[in-house]
Structure 1
Amino acid sequence: MKKFTLVFALAAMLISCSQQNKQTEAKNNSQVAKSEWIPLFNGKNLDNWFVRGKAKWDVRDGIMTGKGGMGHIYTNAVATDFVVKGTFKISDNGNSGLYFRANPPKDNPDGWPVGYEAQIDNHQDAHTGWLWKPGKPTAKAKALITKDNEWFTMKVKMVGDKMEIWVNGQLMTEYTDSDYKKGHFAIQGHNPGQTIEIKELAYKDLSKK
């Protein structure tokens, strides 16, 4: 009887250790998955960003705000293959965009970024979710689903020459293009009197290691 009790206790202990190991492994995997997202905006200040153009940028109450006319704010970070996601709000009749694989033009650092833009604008035909290349709408999106003065999410995935633009969880645009290989993320300030707000922005590096 004592032998049976000892065997039973040992088996129970092994099962308990196995369960604890699985829980620890699951927790570690969860932490690794979370750590894959790299914050671009820390919610406190504009560290790791640089500004070009006339637009003015600041941070209050965890929100980055751009206003005051044409200009762009770039991340120090550069990326090739990635998924980037953020939460945005545009004011009445505003125009902005989330740029990716973008760089300031060499001949005019304050000019339009050279790269891709996921449009943010609720009033023109080439509306929020369209793909733009410098100065021109390039890939048509599905019907507009965002409104001025309301928060919405935007996600862009780009691997190789294939890109996807998602808005509020809906796939808006798919496109294939190889003009731009690597660059910064950037946010556009556009019309005088408008405001663009950002409260979350992070990316995941999908480049092959």
Structure 2
Amino acid sequence: MSTMRNLLVAVAVTVLLAACQTTAPAPAPEKEAAWVPLVTGNSLDGWTARGSAKWRMEDGVIIGQSPGGQGHLYAAPVLQDLEVKGTFRVTSQGKDANSGLYFRANPPADNPDGYPNGYEAQICNSQDAFTGWLWKPGTPTGKASALLTKDAEWFSLRVRAVGDEITIWVNDTEVTRHRDREYKTGLFALQCHNDQMTIEAKDLYYRDLGKS
């Protein structure tokens, strides 16, 4: 009887120890926020134009042109940690086609029609600091590794900004990774830098990476 009881106790202890040593299942990875469209329908509702450029929507494509002087088109969400993507095309009608996708950007308080205070993923195929470079107002800041775009051809652009780390992809190829702390939060914006040029943008989406 004593032997049987001791055997049962030993089996119970063995089972308990095995249960304690079982590795707990790994927690499921956190899901990132869903992509949200920056354009709803075929209108520019939720966007605000500043400067001289003229903006319109045609068949789901934002088109920017300027009769003289630069302009910017701001989108509504104010974000800190973010990701934004879209498909773009620039064409020249006489002058260099120069545009950009801004993020963490705000109109200057003393001149709302001026260049935004914020970061710009450059869109320009005719200068040294070309498409994919990171710019701050008037200053090329983060160097892109290669020029992968041409005028009059559609290309994809994606930006991820988390804390001070900013990454830019052109046609799904990472071209820029840079750290900068100057601008913490702001809007998205599109730029039409010169007259005699056209910027087109479509399939614009963002996600807020600061959501818990």
Which TM-score bucket, shorter chain as reference?
0.7 to 0.9
CA–CA distance in structure 2, aligned partners of residues 133 and 111 of structure 1: 13
Indicate yes or no: 2:165 matched with 1:167. Answer: no
Kept after mapping to 1: 8 A contact 2:33/2:207: no
2:195 alignment partner in structure 1: 192
Identity within the alignment, %: 56
CA–CA distance in structure 1, aligned partners of residues 41 and 130 of structure 2: 27
Deviation at residue 145 of structure 1 after TM alignment: 0.7
2:128 corresponds, among 125, 129, 140, to 125
Query: What amino acid maps onto 2:80 in structure 1?
Result: T
Kept after mapping to 2: 8 A contact 1:43/1:59: no
Greater share of residues in helix = 1
Deviation at residue 35 of structure 1 after TM alignment: 7.7
1:57 alignment partner in structure 2: 55
2:118 corresponds, among 95, 102, 115, to 115
Kept after mapping to 2: 8 A contact 1:43/1:199: no
Deviation at residue 42 of structure 1 after TM alignment: 2.3
Query: What amino acid maps onto 2:110 in structure 1?
Result: D
Q: Which runs of 5+ in 2 are unaligned?
A: 1-30
CA–CA distance in structure 2, aligned partners of residues 165 and 35 of structure 1: 19
Kept after mapping to 2: 8 A contact 1:43/1:64: no
Indicate yes or no: 2:194 matched with 1:177. Answer: no
Indicate yes or no: 2:151 matched with 1:156. Answer: no
Task: Provide, for residues 27-84 of structure 1, a one-character-per-residue CA deviation record: whole Å limited to 9, x for no partner.
Answer: xxxxxx7981111122501001001100000001111100014000000111110110
1:76 alignment partner in structure 2: 76
Kept after mapping to 2: 8 A contact 1:86/1:153: yes
Tell me which structure has the larger Cα radius of gyration: 2
1:90 alignment partner in structure 2: 90
Kept after mapping to 1: 8 A contact 2:33/2:209: no
Deviation at residue 120 of structure 1 after TM alignment: 0.2
TM-score (norm 2): 0.81
Query: What amino acid maps onto 1:61 in structure 2?
Result: D
Query: What amino acid maps onto 1:198 in structure 2?
Result: A
Report how many residues are paired. Answer: 177
CA–CA distance in structure 2, aligned partners of residues 133 and 34 of structure 1: 28
Q: Which runs of 5+ in 1 are unaligned?
A: 1-32
CA–CA distance in structure 1, aligned partners of residues 147 and 107 of structure 2: 29
2:205 alignment partner in structure 1: 202
**Secondary structure in 2 matching 1:192:** coil
Query: What amino acid maps onto 2:203 in structure 1?
Result: E
Runs of 4+ in structure 1 deviating by more than 3 angstroms, as ranges, are none
Query: What amino acid maps onto 1:80 in structure 2?
Result: Q
CA–CA distance in structure 2, aligned partners of residues 142 and 178 of structure 1: 21
Kept after mapping to 1: 8 A contact 2:134/2:140: yes
RMSD over aligned Cα atoms: 1.4
1:103 alignment partner in structure 2: 106
**Secondary structure in 1 matching 2:115:** coil
